[in-house]
Amino acid sequence: NEAPVSTIATIGQHEGQRVTLRGWLYNLRSSGKLLFPTFRDGSGTIQGIVPKAAVPEIVFETLKGLTLESSVVVTGKVRADSRAPSGYELDVEDVTVTQRVDDANPFPIQLKEAGVEFLMEHRHLWVRTPRQSAILRVRATIMRAAAEYFDTNGYTRTDPPILTPNACEGTSELFEMDYFDDEKAYLTQSGQLYIEATALALGKVYSFGPTFRAEKSKTRRHLTEFWMIEPEVAYMDLEGLMEMAEGFLRHIVTKVLETHRGADLKLIGKDEAKLEAIIAEGAFPKLTYDEAHAMLKDAYAAGKIEKPHEYGDDFGSPDETYISSQYDKPVMVHRYPAAVKAFYMQPDPKDPAKALCVDVLAPEGYGEIIGGSQRVDSYDLLKKRIEAHGLPLAAFQWYLDLRKYGSVPHSGFGMGIERCVAWLCGLEHVRETIPFARTLNRIYP
């Protein structure tokens, strides 16, 4: 008699009943006349029990020598077991092998530790392991929650082009390509300039897509291809932007906890109390660049950081790590020296050497996850900035137009999804936060 098909994640609905699971053999232990195969199906893992005496001989023999990652369809009875990680075990009754992995070529990712380069070289198979799958599920939740925040707060999603004639974030990290005849095109570094145009059409907009930077640095925070979500709002100032960024991050963390508490987060090894602390009552701390500099100066004097921070310089990774480690919520550092920031940032009217910008630094040393600012709204100043940065005026004419036809104060930010995933999952490196990472030295698989 037919058993209903279930996923492992929802198997509790079938307690005491027979179900069919479709998945893969993840692990196999045996003790003589008893087999303990662990199955996975993408939604979770479950251990099966196969006593030789209780099942047809063919079932026992099929599972006994079965190679890991062979695809299988298994039928059995669901039994609650409080000792099992998923809360349930499967008394196996029948099994069909869909494809058996060849004994001579076993699945290359063994359950024991393998080196990172080996794992990255086999990323197409590594993604199957439960922890990596869990990270990808959290990534999907973060992406959904991020878009949901804007979708439910009156923003219109407008998709900027990926092939662009101009640079947004400086010219040193551009991927260049030929665009027919004599033209050059660049892979976009940020959708910002384009969504400034759509913000002046629609008021509140966002973009969400892949962005590219020819990062020559090998760090644990940099990819050459990453996903960025960027809101842009007409008539919003820096203070409004910071408030919005806080609401946005709170929404994401709330959704991640709601969806993955006790399950994926546990499997990944993330301390959930750290996530609870982010959304606990109390506003995110805010520091000006000057205040952050003073904090670093004291830290250096007290021997807590190795290198002094030079006033006027951007913060390095160790600086960001120190600043953010002082709080258990993300910290917003605002009003950096204009000289270390992008050409499009509005000067602070109270101190024009400073930009009306904000970087959000994640706790636990994760560094910058969000960068944003109020934008220059004067035509003359923006033109001067483009020239001073040695950018080609012709390619920016359309962008300057925005300051000619009903210019308004406006603000926006960008958040890199991978940085956010690394932070919320507590990962060492962004290479595990995206299905197939692109870095300086890797474009395979």
Contact set with Mg ion (CB under 5 A): 371
Please choose, from the candidates 181, 196, 241, 115, the residue with its C-alpha nearest in 3D space to the C-alpha of residue 399.
Answer: 196
Measure the CA–CA gap between 107 and 71, rounded to whole angstroms.
12
Distance between start and end Cα atoms, the chain? 43
One-letter amino acid of 118 = F
| Nearest distance, CB of residue 228 and ligand 4AD, angstroms | 5
| Nearest distance, CB of residue 399 and ligand 4AD, angstroms | 13
| Nearest distance, CB of residue 371 and Mg ion, angstroms | 3
Residue number, 88 or 226, with CB nearest to ligand 4AD: 226
Residue ranges in contact with ligand 4AD by CB under 6 A:
168-169, 190, 192, 213, 215, 222-223, 226, 228, 230, 368-372, 412-416, 418-419, 430
Which does residue 319 touch among ligand 4AD, Mg ion, none (CB within 5 to 8 A, set by kind)? none
Residue number, 191 or 371, with CB nearest to Mg ion: 371
Residue number, 295 or 369, with CB nearest to Mg ion: 369
| Nearest distance, CB of residue 220 and Mg ion, angstroms | 16
Residue number, 54 or 391, with CB nearest to Mg ion: 391
Cβ–Cβ < 8 Å for 369, 361: yes
Cβ–Cβ < 8 Å for 48, 108: no
Measure the CA–CA gap between 68 and 97, rounded to whole angstroms.
12
| Nearest distance, CB of residue 380 and ligand 4AD, angstroms | 22
CA dihedral (147, 150, 156, 160) positive or negative: negative
Within 10 angstroms of residue 11's Cβ, the number of other Cβ atoms is 22
Measure the CA–CA gap between 417 and 413, rounded to whole angstroms.
13
Residue number, 89 or 169, with CB nearest to Mg ion: 169
| Nearest distance, CB of residue 167 and ligand 4AD, angstroms | 11
Q: DSSP per residue over 198-217, as a string?
A: HHHHHSEEEEEEEEE-----
Residue number, 8 or 249, with CB nearest to ligand 4AD: 249
Which does residue 369 touch among Mg ion, ligand 4AD, none (CB within 5 to 8 A, set by kind)? ligand 4AD
